[in-house]
Structure 1
């Protein structure tokens, strides 16, 4: 047996150190990384997260030094991305009776990714507990840190938090523990936060609130150093770096409407923006508008929403007169968002979006949102059929929240 790596009483590191230059999220990890997996060797032996899909066999060999995999009762998957769940197929093949513990969305994704439709899953929700025989785990859902299905696991007896990607660092380290590091790890820790977590900073604040009352002596993430020396320091770094900007931001909503549906969309967007403390002004662009006055409002704003109803595949009112001015303005430091209502086709929204792309506004579309946040459930530009109902109103608020978060970055 290789030298065992003990994290806590009957808790062991069974991961893999990848000391190559690792391609990851369109980057190259020059310092490599670690894939941290943990075995809790209790009466109901439990594995928390696995390793990258490339190292499934090595993972099983490592795990087998500690336990016969057939004895494993639970496999906790905090996050389904293949650098964490990739060892699951190999492990599930050995631990044939093990129950897979994850969120509802996590279960759906794991079943599809690894053809595990016939396996037993335990679906968790916020605050659920699991007795694994000598230790008790408690789970918290942490959506969008950094994908929607993510959760974190806390061992009550060991006072150890297993947060998967949260509190990680991309470093290939054989020391594994931050108190054994030969250099200050703070920069690597903060760089990881900026690259992976910062686009989701509002959810970081939600996560911190959930763990505030936990007594945490060890943070055992899924990449990089295990934080057993002053773990609160790293929680504080996340708290500080995820706080919203204090500088006041302004949004402007310009719209033209026929029957009031687009006005109703504008109202919902305004509610969401104001809940994010974004100072928001709404202007109905009718046929006769003072272009110079509107241009000044645009200059004074950080994000501008342009909306119209669709009539005969085109915009209504005086909005197009405003849009024609955008290409002659320097708007490079501003966000531009197209929205509108329609009954049959909704071309007006796309025409607006074309005008925005012809300017130097930073256009908020679905591609930008996915690349910056990973969220794929909200669609930009914003198109609502007729007037927004309850579900559409909630989506509009969520869309406004996302734009607000981009402004507060």
Structure 2
């Protein structure tokens, strides 16, 4: 069983090849996978990521043949899911001097997952560097690729990017390097992107911007082949697959009592505008039916909102919602929103109407399942006028829906 492979001077693959049919994210990986971990044998010995929790014991045994875990200075955790950080509990009990390097959110999750509250963490932010004695590591936060705490690590001297799940492929291979593969790896590379990264494609573009200034000669991901040839080809593939496609439009339709819902609508529009989405804001109480119908039919996303009065909607919004049932809107996104002073029942009533409209209703459940986002709450409920966090929340909703439209 392979347990060590040099990828650069004093840099080694020390992962695990799982050549079974592997259950993974509600899928079966027919070709298996690799759990890639990397050891940098420097003055301050450093490990980058671990392996799946199932193989923690054998991983630590293999690593202990290469270095005494007590000598590890740092353990970098790019991503806290069990297929990357799963061996950390088995390792950390032996690597008593090692500091854990990760993002602030990553640290909190690791502390709670593995009861590491008494361990020392090095918290990184975008662009931070760490001197490990003979090599310099630079870190970049890449949230939602594919969970919120994710980061990537770049070794300045080796010109190697360690991007965790990004640029991965699910293939069990003992060759490990893409130029040694017995067949073209592009299909597996592309399938991995579509299944794991594509739901988060706006953040792929953010990541590519962050690494654009780096001299990357090798990409060493957490699954599958290490890309030591044609690196630019694979970066370009991520760029092409994640670029926005087509011009999209949105309509924000609402009724209001005191103007608070108008403010919510305008803030949503700010988020849409930031993403380059063309939009129309329409107070349905002041618009004729033809204008409203035209806006509905020409839009790719519909926001429908109302203030709450006596546990119900106000104005003419309900008439609009009833008319939706008579239209073919199956290809459109629908989002409920509103402001309220007490319990805000109108917003949920709107949601109920949308669920029978034939549209794809975007709510918190859909966002979690499709993107992993937990910080957005939909339907959007704003108490009284939006202020402080409420302002940010409204704008962020517009941006998130904009991302869904342009993906």
TM-score over 0.5 for the alignment? Answer: yes
Match of 2:381 in 1: 383
Shift of 1:135: 0.8
| Partner Cα separation in structure 1 for residue 280 and residue 126 of structure 2 | 37
Shift of 1:173: 1.0
Match of 1:403 in 2: 401
1:78, 1:102 within 8 Å by CA — same for their partners in 2? yes
Aligned length: 407
Work out which of the residue numbers 303, 306, 310 in structure 1 matches 2:304: 306
Shift of 1:296: 2.7
| Partner Cα separation in structure 1 for residue 140 and residue 406 of structure 2 | 26
2:300, 2:331 within 8 Å by CA — same for their partners in 1? yes
| Partner Cα separation in structure 2 for residue 101 and residue 344 of structure 1 | 45
Gap change, CA 1:3 and 1:274, over 3 Å in 2: closer
Match of 1:161 in 2: 161
Pairing of 1:10-409 with structure 2 (within 5 A): 10-245=10-245, 247-286=246-285, 290-409=288-407
Gap change, CA 1:19 and 1:2, over 3 Å in 2: closer
Shift of 1:285: 1.3
| Partner Cα separation in structure 2 for residue 205 and residue 358 of structure 1 | 35
Deviations 1:276-302 (A, max 9, x none): 11110011011x753344223211110
Shift of 1:390: 2.6
Shift of 1:25: 1.3
Deviations 1:253-280 (A, max 9, x none): 0000000000000000111111111110
| Partner Cα separation in structure 2 for residue 392 and residue 146 of structure 1 | 26
1:35, 1:84 within 8 Å by CA — same for their partners in 2? yes
| Partner Cα separation in structure 2 for residue 94 and residue 280 of structure 1 | 57
Deviations 1:175-221 (A, max 9, x none): 11100000000111111111111121121111111111111111000
- The SS at the match of 1:325 is helix
- The SS at the match of 1:264 is helix
Deviations 1:324-362 (A, max 9, x none): 111221111000100000000000000000000011000
| Partner Cα separation in structure 2 for residue 169 and residue 267 of structure 1 | 42
| Partner Cα separation in structure 2 for residue 170 and residue 2 of structure 1 | 18
- The SS at the match of 1:255 is strand
CA RMSD of aligned residues (A): 1.2
Q: What's the TM-score once normalised by structure 2's chain length?
A: 0.98
- The SS at the match of 1:194 is helix
Gap change, CA 1:344 and 1:234, over 3 Å in 2: same
1:289, 1:318 within 8 Å by CA — same for their partners in 2? no
Shift of 1:318: 0.2
Deviations 1:71-100 (A, max 9, x none): 111000000111100010011011011000
Q: What's the TM-score once normalised by structure 1's chain length?
A: 0.98
| Partner Cα separation in structure 2 for residue 209 and residue 293 of structure 1 | 40
